Amino acid sequence: MANKLRVSKSGSGAPTAITPDFLGQIYIDETSGTRYEATALTKGSWVDKLSLKENTANKVTSFQATPTDTAYPTEKLVHTALGGKQDTMTKAGSSDIKDNSTEDAKYTTPKGLADSKLVWTDKKQDIKNKRIFPRAISGVASSSEEITLVNYSIFRLRVHSDITLIAPDETLGEGEVFMIYLTSDEYSAGSNITWNDNYRSYAWISATGGLPDKTIDGTIILTCQASFMERPNGWQYTIFVFSAEVPNN
């Protein structure tokens, strides 16, 4: 079958004076790069289907103050932008990655992070030679005292009247520990202590047995550890309490 593809070699523009040989015939203007397609077998019956030549009107050689989605950068512009940034940056070593570092002009790699021995929030790690300082707060106990575990793990509370220990502000992790110190004097000793149902005495005999129910002239130290246990309405969060009393005299 004869090749019926006709392509202009004169570069004289649109094929207005050329008659197509067959429908769908392709004509390419070699000067403009415009691709035409025949729509009828009459002279000049061509439609512009696709421009094959670069549209330099949208080319930019420097970044614009207001970026658009229609402009495209040249290779030189991209190379200058990326190359210039790369030349001014230095890789950080493991000694640069530390908790008190103020270095903000270096980049790091995954290996650099691993070598730095950072403690990850969601990764199983063996942590050695670390000293942990619990967060402590002191103050006067309110009549309904909420243990704010989001911020603290040791609570030193001065008791001036009856107190109710309500549920903590968040669910502890299994085995998590916090401490409560209830301190009173001879004038406030004997104040009633009421417990939220989440608390259970470590020496649990009955549903509410074993927990101190009154303050003393001194300090009641309560070491609390979270656990989960099966209760009538399913597995529930429970705080087991180890208690000790330290009188003032």
pLDDT tens string, the chain, 249 residues long: the values are 444 445 444 456 778 888 888 888 888 887 777 888 888 888 888 887 766 566 677 888 888 888 888 888 888 888 777 775 555 567 777 677 766 677 777 777 777 777 776 776 666 777 778 788 889 999 998 888 888 888 888 999 999 999 998 878 777 777 888 899 999 998 888 999 998 888 878 765 444 457 888 899 999 888 888 776 666 665 566 788 888 888 887
pLDDT at residue number 237: 66
Is the Cβ–Cβ distance between 139 and 157 less than 8 Å?
yes
Does 64 reside within a domain? no
Note the pLDDT of residue 9: 45
The confidence score (pLDDT) of residue 1 equals: 43
209 found inside a domain: yes
pLDDT for the residue numbered 11: 55
Domain closes at, from 56, 79, 101: 56
The pLDDT, as a whole number, for residue 162 is: 93
Determine how many CB atoms are found less than 10 A away from the CB of residue 34: 19
Q: What is the pTM of this model?
A: 0.52
Residue 54 confidence (pLDDT): 67
Among 56, 72, 95, identify where a domain stops. Answer: 56
Clarify whether residues 45 and 143 are in a common domain. no
**pLDDT at residue 160, rounded to an integer:** 92
CA pair distance 104, 5, nearest whole angstrom: 62
- Give pLDDT, residue 205: 45
Residue 184 lies in a domain: yes
Report the helix count and the strand count for the chain, using DSSP H and E: 2, 16
Task: Judge whether 90 lies within some domain.
Answer: no
In the block, which residue shows the tokens 């000790």? 244
Domain that includes residue 5, residue range: 1-56
Helices marked H in 43-125: 75-87, 110-115
> Around Cβ 196, how many Cβ atoms within 10 Å?
15
* Rg for the chain, CA atoms, rounded: 40
Answer whether residue 177 is part of any domain.
Answer: yes
Q: Does residue 74 lie within any of the structural domains?
A: no
Is residue 109 one of the residues assigned to a domain?
Answer: no
Q: Which helix (H) or strand (E) holds 157?
A: strand 154-158
pLDDT at 151: 86
Q: What is the pLDDT of residue 233?
A: 61
Report d(CA 146, CA 212) in Å as an integer: 18
Residue 103 belongs to a domain:
no
The number of distinct structural domains making up the chain is 2
